[in-house]
Amino acid sequence: MRNIFILLFTLISFITGCNTSSPNQSLSEIKHIIVIGVDGMSPDGIRNAATPIMHQMIKEGAVKWNVRTVLPSSSSPNWASMISGAGTEQHGVTDNDWERDDHSLPPVIMDDDGIFPTIFEVIHKNKPDANIGAVYNWEGFGRLFEKSAVNYDTTASNVDSTILLASGYIEKEKPLFCFIQMDNVDAAGHAYGHGSEEYYHAVSKADSLIGSILKSIRKAGIDKNTLVIVTADHGGKGYGHGGATPEEAEIAMIFNGKDVKEGYSIEQPVYTYDLAATIAFCLGIEPPYAWTGRPVKSAFDGFPEPANIWKGKKLIAAPLIFPKPDLYAEAGGLYIDTPAVVKMEPIADKSIIKYTLDGSEPDSNSMVYNTPFTLDTTAVVKAKSFDKNGNESLTSKAFFRVLKSNIQMGLHTSFYRGGNWKSIPDFSRLTPFKSWISPEFQLNREQILPLLNSDIFGVAFEGYIEIDNAGRYTFYTSSDDGSNLYIDGKKVVDNDGSHGVIGKSGDIDLKAGRHIIRIDYFNSLGGFWLDAFYKGPGVPREIIPANKLFLKSR
């Protein structure tokens, strides 16, 4: 009987081994790995720009659309995480100011160069004869890896020269590993805004340059056994990044080439620090114990999704509500003497959209969107996509403010040219350069830009907010740089200081009726932004709408 059990166990083990991949199995046929990192390229950019090269790579390969970055969603922490196989807590590159000799958090381990070991050093230690290269547009990338580990290390001041150098290197040296970094998309995001026409044009240019790299791989005669990975360090919102929003902290990762599944959408969660672990796996190299990243094995033939992958509901792509968000502005808009037209569009395949108009969360019983419709009153529109498998998306929201012209409505607005301000000044001691009436708490760029004599300026808004129901209200400001919100002379929100777009909030009990509301704002350097929200009894969280703002108490 014992012999029978042994025979059965051996037979089962043999069959199992024939039908599954060993967890230690590598991809020995991959002889070259080229990583192309496009700084600031969001999934939205790939989807909405003219990107035939990347879309063909996705069609022929595997993609993960929502790879999560580390925080902050900035360049240095994420490039470091991608090549170090670990997060900021391990490698210590916590911000863009990090330098090897000037940082607050040391790495948990360090190599001979005094930094956390990267994929460059790991490959070099395991394959000392391998040709390894780094070609980068942003000079700061060069401080993140071990110079002693690479055969070719060069930077260029523009993206075209970067790709020209990388192409020549690939064709001549046929490297085992090369990391190429492009910076033009991030530059467009900062200059013109993520989602702008110029931003999408920069993504299209990056796509054509990726095509140039693919041509150089074919010209070198190594395309049959080369893995190409296209990815990014972060996305963006408005004119910047660094925050904890999906727009900033989600990127795409595209796998194409040798041993990659065709037309495959990766299910397992993927993080930026999984890139180095994936490269090591493909080359049959055991990663350092200190790395926390895991290889994205499911992108490759013969490797299923992880057996212990979470089997809960799958999160599908959220629908678009038009007018779409623009820079930091939320979807929707202000409509004076004209109805708002609400249009929606699904992103997830074979999904339907369900929506609400009162700010409540949509569910399976909510109204189904079929065609565009109009609104003649202010509304908070929320929408979700649902598929036939019961999966749903996150909620998309849009704030539509609809009102008729009324000389009693609006806010007294005063503009001040700035001095040596580090915070909001006392505007009561200053003389405004110009004054006007604004319908809402928003900065009109076309109105403000001609008034500037420097980046530093201030704006004070004051009027009355009408409260319909007594109770506790929460007010919010979201601003770049500082903003303070006052109700009846009491500071409710303190969002002062020089900073990028961040939000702060505060609570206050209010009686029904009109109350004095004021927001003081100042801009320190660079871009500027202001939004104001509130919520309370019978009021969902929404932009403080123009139809609730008045110039007088009655």
Phi, psi of 535 (to 5 degrees): -150, 155
Which amino acid appears at position 515 of this protein? H
Beta strand pairing status for 529-536 and 539-543?
Answer: antiparallel
Which carries the bigger pLDDT value, residue 243 or residue 469?
469
* CA distance linking residue 299 with residue 130, whole number of Å: 25
What does the angle CA 181 – CA 187 – CA 191 come to, to the nearest 5 degrees?
A: 175
pLDDT confidence of residue 25: 53
Q: How many helices (H) and strands (E) does the chain have?
A: 12, 29
pLDDT confidence of residue 262: 98
Whether the pLDDT of residue 23 is over 70: the answer is no
Within its chain, how far is the Cα of 328 from the centroid? 13
Q: Which domains does the chain have, with CATH numbers?
A: 32-299 (3.40.720.10), 315-403 (2.60.40), 411-550 (3.90.182.10)
The winner for highest mean pLDDT among 235-244, 439-448, 523-532 is 439-448
Which carries the bigger pLDDT value, residue 499 or residue 259?
259
At a CB cut-off of 8 Å and minimum separation 6, what does 539 contact? 468, 469, 473
DSSP string, 433-477: SEEEEESSS---HHHHGGG-SSS-EEEEEEEEEEESS-EEEEEEE
C-beta separation of 517 from 462 below 8 A? yes
Among 312-321, 426-435, 503-512, whose mean pLDDT is lowest?
312-321
Using DSSP's 3-state secondary structure scheme, residue 204 falls into helix
Q: Count how many residues are written for the chain.
A: 554
Which residues are bridge partners to 115 per DSSP?
Answer: none
Q: What is the pTM of this model?
A: 0.79
- Per residue in 109-154, pLDDT (tens digit) is 999 999 999 999 999 999 999 999 999 999 999 999 999 999 999 9
Whether the pLDDT of residue 10 is over 60: the answer is no
Whether the pLDDT of residue 271 is over 80: the answer is yes
- Tell me what the mean pLDDT of segment 297-321 comes to: 89
Q: Where would I find the beta strands (DSSP E) of 258-395? A: 264-265, 315-316, 320-322, 331-336, 340-345, 351-356, 367-368, 373-375, 379-387, 392-393
Beta strand pairing status for 226-231 and 250-257?
Answer: antiparallel
What does the angle CA 12 – CA 13 – CA 15 come to, to the nearest 5 degrees?
A: 65
pLDDT more than 70, % of the chain? 95
- Per residue in 485-505, pLDDT (tens digit) is 999 999 999 999 988 788 899
- Tell me what the mean pLDDT of segment 81-99 comes to: 96
* Site of tokens 């090549």: 83
DSSP string, 205-269: HHHHHHHHHHHHHHHTT-GGGEEEEEE-S---BTTB--SSSHHHHEEEEEEEETTBPTTEE--S-
- Per residue in 311-351, pLDDT (tens digit) is 677 788 899 999 988 877 889 999 999 999 999 999 998 99
